[in-house]
């Protein structure tokens, strides 16, 4: 029976190999003076085109990308996020949820925008993630590598001020890309049965979680720390971990940007 796949389709092996080649890279090839190595103009246009072709709910495109261009802006964003590689990447962006633009579209057309802050966060972050992922995937297809940066949570107020983000626009993450100057190891993932569920959610057993932890342990062996994934997760997500410290900053930023749906 003849194949009905489009002629541009790649094989399953090629697709698997492409995603297996993915690395999170923080060290990039730079110019001799250490400044960022610019992307060719057509490559930049291609990755931006890919970002804008991302799926979006209700056609609204509830995201914006702030391209970091001036060295002094990059340096300040690097300091606010505690991620120095923002300075040396070929391209660096702050990926934002953005519901301001659609509200202004409604106002210009003579309509009154609704009040839906929880929906704004839900779909705005979804749109932002899809656009950023499209951008990074296109960059990897062109031979670059990159890094998602959750460290925006370390300096939300400063980023809102620096980037002049109005109400309705919230930084979600930063994203860097460039020619890799390092080859990080292949990082493991939690076993598929704990992530891909069929029809109903499968709550993992203690034994399955212990096995998953054993598989993930190598990812924690960095910066002189032991290969202990539970320790790494504890530093982020346990009581007194970094996520608890970030929580009040995010709540404050949501309130500042008019995106808080909780009780005061």
Res 5: pLDDT: 59
Task: Tell me: pLDDT of 1 over 70.
Answer: no
- Give the C-alpha separation, 187 to 229, whole Å: 12
The residue to which tokens 């002094």 are assigned: 72
Q: What is the pLDDT of residues 87-127, one digit of tens each?
A: 999 999 999 999 999 999 999 999 999 999 999 999 999 99
Domain-located, residue 241: no
Domain-located, residue 214: no
Res 264: pLDDT: 74
> Is the pTM for the entire model greater than 0.85?
yes
Task: Tell me: pLDDT of 4 over 70.
Answer: no
Q: Predicted confidence band at 223 (pLDDT cuts at 50, 70, 90)?
A: confident
Res 224: pLDDT: 86
Mean pLDDT value across the chain: 96
C-alpha closest to that of 183 among 142, 149, 145: 145
Domain region containing 158: 22-184
Cβ contact 10:16 at 8 Å:
no
* Higher pLDDT among residues 262 and 51, named by residue: 51
Mean pLDDT of 195-224: 96
The residue to which tokens 């509200």 are assigned: 103
Q: What is the CATH number of the domain that holds 53?
A: 3.40.109.10
CA distances from 156 to 9, 52, 168, 206, 234 (A): 42, 25, 14, 37, 23
Give the Cβ contact number of residue 204 at 10 Å: 16
C-alpha closest to that of 87 among 76, 98, 97, 103: 76
Mean pLDDT of 196-209: 98
| Contact residues for 64 (Cβ-Cβ < 8 A; gap 6+) | 96, 98, 101, 169
- Give the C-alpha separation, 93 to 136, whole Å: 11
Domain-located, residue 8: no
Domain count, the chain: 1
First to last CA, the chain: 63
Domain-located, residue 144: yes
Q: Is 197 left (phi over 0), alpha (psi -120 to 50) or beta?
A: beta
Res 117: pLDDT: 97
């Amino acid at each position: 029976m003849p194949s009905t796949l489009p002629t541009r389709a790649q094989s399953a092996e090629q697709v698997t190999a492409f995603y297996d080649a993915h690395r999170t890279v923080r060290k990039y090839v730079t110019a001799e003076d250490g400044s960022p190595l610019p992307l060719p103009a057509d490559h930049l246009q291609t990755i931006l085109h890919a970002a804008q072709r991302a799926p979006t709910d209700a056609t609204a495109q509830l995201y914006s990308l702030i391209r970091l261009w001036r060295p002094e802006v990059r340096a300040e964003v690097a300091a606010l996020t505690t991620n120095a590689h923002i300075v040396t990447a070929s391209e660096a962006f702050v990926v934002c949820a953005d519901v301001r633009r659609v509200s202004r579209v409604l106002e210009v057309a003579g309509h009154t925008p609704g009040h839906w802050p929880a929906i704004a966060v839900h779909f705005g972050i979804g749109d932002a993630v899809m656009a950023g992922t499209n951008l990074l995937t296109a960059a990897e297809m062109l031979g670059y590598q990159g890094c998602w940066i959750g460290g925006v949570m370390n300096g939300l107020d400063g980023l809102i001020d620096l980037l002049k983000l109005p109400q309705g626009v919230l930084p979600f993450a930063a994203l860097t890309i460039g020619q890799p100057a390092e080859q990080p190891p292949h990082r493991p993932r939690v076993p598929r049965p704990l992530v891909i569920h069929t029809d109903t959610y499968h709550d993992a057993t203690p034994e399955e979680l212990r096995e998953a932890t054993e598989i993930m342990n190598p990812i924690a062996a960095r910066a002189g720390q032991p290969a202990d994934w539970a320790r790494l997760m504890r530093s982020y997500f346990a009581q007194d971990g970094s996520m608890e410290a970030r929580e009040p900053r995010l709540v404050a930023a949501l309130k500042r940007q008019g995106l808080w749906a909780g009780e005061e």
